[in-house]
Chains A and B, each alone.
Chain A
Amino acid sequence: MTTILTGGVGKTEVADAVRRLAPAGVEAVVSNDMDAVALLQAGRADYFLGTCQTGAGASLGVLVGLMGAATCHTFGRSVPSVEEIDTLLDQGKRVFGFAVDQVDAIVPALVLAIATRA
């Protein structure tokens, strides 16, 4: 089971969006930045999706500082292509930030890419 944690201002919307997609082997858990760090580091969760107004920084909260920039990526306000998402997952990115008004555009592509690796 792949666990996706959600955090930031749109955490419930993102978790709902993941559950609506209902990909096999993936579960969404509403969390927050500080708890997410502990869960990711303990191996009890796999990915973190954070949201905020700008899609950068506040959506990732303390994760950039604690997990290291190498595992974090922010789409900001842009909508990534499927290839871009695959490349990022290949690079080992596990923490993603994006703008709360782009949830509908980003979550499906990102979660399906994660599900194919589950």
Chain B
Amino acid sequence: MSSTVLAASTGLDFSLAQQLTVVALCALTAFLAHLALAVFNDGLRPFMLDFVQGRTTRSATTAVSFGLSAGFIFGLGAPMALSSGTLNPWLLFLPTDILGLLAPKKWLAPVLGGAWGGVVVFGLKGANDLAHDLPVDFLTALQQMATPILFLFTLFPVLAITKQFGKLLGGLAGVVELALVVLTMKVWPDVFAGAPAMAVGVLLLIGCAVARDVRQRRAAERAAAGAVPAAGEEASTVTSGRAPGGVDPMASLFGASAARLRRHLPLFMVLGAGICLLSQLHVFGGGEATSFLIAKGQYAEAAQVDFYRALGFIPLIATTALASGAYGIVGFTLVYPIGYLLPSPWPALVCGALVFAVEVLALSWIGKALGRLPSVRDSSQHLRGAIGDTLHLAILFGSLMAAHAMGGGLGILIAGGLYLLNEAMGRVVVRMAAAPAAVLVTGIVLNVLHWLHLFTPIKT
């Protein structure tokens, strides 16, 4: 387990090709955000419809984008990048959402986006070196987050199953996952212990959901065949209640959005190629746990983790894209695992382009299929909720371990105290980002205390 503790050693040392890829990709993503063709923040996408249809202004949409993203950029993206030594989508693409929307002219969007890419690849390295040279090195301490994130993340399917299918199935899934983790550690010590457990957990969840949908559809068909109107039970809310006759408003809106995205297929193929290339270069992790796995060179495990994570996001991305006419900057996130696994950049460019083409072309079909699978959509929501819950504990615990590593009890007091204070003040900082942000502040405070001869750095 000690190998997972120190996930990254150097990191953020980019070759020229990697730097150019990041700059070019940030320019492209800002351009697409400017055209309202794609944004990274899933929360922003529903607001894009009003913007596309001209009911809100560019500046109002930019303000929404900034409000939704700022906490995640500084609280999640930046600390994750500094502690893992690899880039992540929050740091790269949330700012390009904002900059692309902010740009009043079409040509300015890629310029601003590219400039942000430059700031990240050159500036982050400088910040990284500077922080490592301080008497109290809080970046090395932040690597303490890797272990709790990696191991607790393993449990997210169990939480999702418990919430959706009850205590019995949830408890069963928990026992199965734990047994698999122990087995993996014993039999395949080189494999990330959580990977097989996570695989089984997610398959179990999807299996239960599909089974429930099939059962309910059969029951509905039987009820329809018997011409007995369904009683007003909770289950009858599923896909019922559509107004008889007339055009289904969902179908017409979804159709128009899908057509808008299909018109820009070549641009999306370039985007897919770029995202897949970035993943292939192994300087980028798409998910919370992945950054640390990529930093350690465990690409197969990273691919697996991001593949399961994608299952939690595909329905959200598909429905918000169909409702708003703006796609996800990273698509269904399926190009991440493909990129990690590919051996060289050229196949990554080709595969990325093809995957995005298929995704955009299949969007209406996916929307229709999801309409018939309410339990699967529920599962994806529960998966995202569970990812949030596991990460909340993992990040809080990892942050306190980091605070302990750099300042002992005093570190825990300051970081934990700042976290509790934020809670007491009604969560001014997003809960997920509060602990890492508190660690950064603690690092600065400890350095100041050291400078005042009030604190002696802890030797490790």
Chain A positions near chain B (C-beta within 8 angstroms): 7-12, 29-35, 37-39, 41-42, 44, 52-54, 56-66, 69, 76-77, 79, 99-102, 105
Q: A56-B68, A69-B50 are in contact. List 20 more A-B contacts (CB 8 A).
A: A7-B381, A10-B385, A12-B163, A29-B234, A34-B371, A34-B374, A35-B239, A35-B241, A37-B250, A39-B241, A42-B241, A53-B430, A54-B41, A57-B47, A58-B320, A61-B320, A63-B46, A66-B323, A77-B427, A101-B427
B residues near A79, Cβ cutoff 8 Å: 426
Q: Do B42 and A57 touch (CB < 8 A)?
A: yes
Can you offer 5 A-B residue contacts whose CB atoms are under 8 A?
A: A8-B381, A34-B370, A38-B239, A65-B324, A69-B50
Write the B131-168 contact mask toward A (1 if CB under 8 angstroms, else 0): 00000000000000000000000000000000100000
B residues near A44, Cβ cutoff 8 Å: 241
* Interface residue tally on B, bucketed by range: 35 or more
Of the candidates A10, A12, A33, A52, the one whose C-beta lies within 8 Å of that of B43 is A52
Our count of residue pairs bridging A and B at CB distance below 8 angstroms stands at: 121
Rounded to whole Å, the gap between the CB of A67 and the closest CB of chain B is 9
Chain B residue with the shortest CB-CB distance to A62:
B323
Of the candidates B46, B243, B253, the one whose C-beta lies within 8 Å of that of A57 is B46
Q: Do A35 and B67 touch (CB < 8 A)?
A: no
Rounded to whole Å, the gap between the CB of A9 and the closest CB of chain B is 4
In angstroms, Cα B249 to Cα A105, docked, is 34
Q: Do B323 and A38 touch (CB < 8 A)?
A: no
Q: Do A54 and B237 touch (CB < 8 A)?
A: no
Q: Do B320 and A100 touch (CB < 8 A)?
A: no
B residues near A38, Cβ cutoff 8 Å: 239-243, 250
In angstroms, Cα B322 to Cα A61, docked, is 10
A residues near B163, Cβ cutoff 8 Å: 12
Given contacts A57-B44, A76-B67, contact A39 B316 (CB under 8 A): no
In angstroms, Cα B432 to Cα A101, docked, is 10
Chain B residue with the shortest CB-CB distance to A63:
B46
B residues near A64, Cβ cutoff 8 Å: 46-47, 49-50, 323
Q: Do A66 and B430 touch (CB < 8 A)?
A: no
Given contacts A52-B43, A53-B432, contact A65 B234 (CB under 8 A): no
B residues near A9, Cβ cutoff 8 Å: 381-382, 384-385, 388
B residues near A7, Cβ cutoff 8 Å: 381
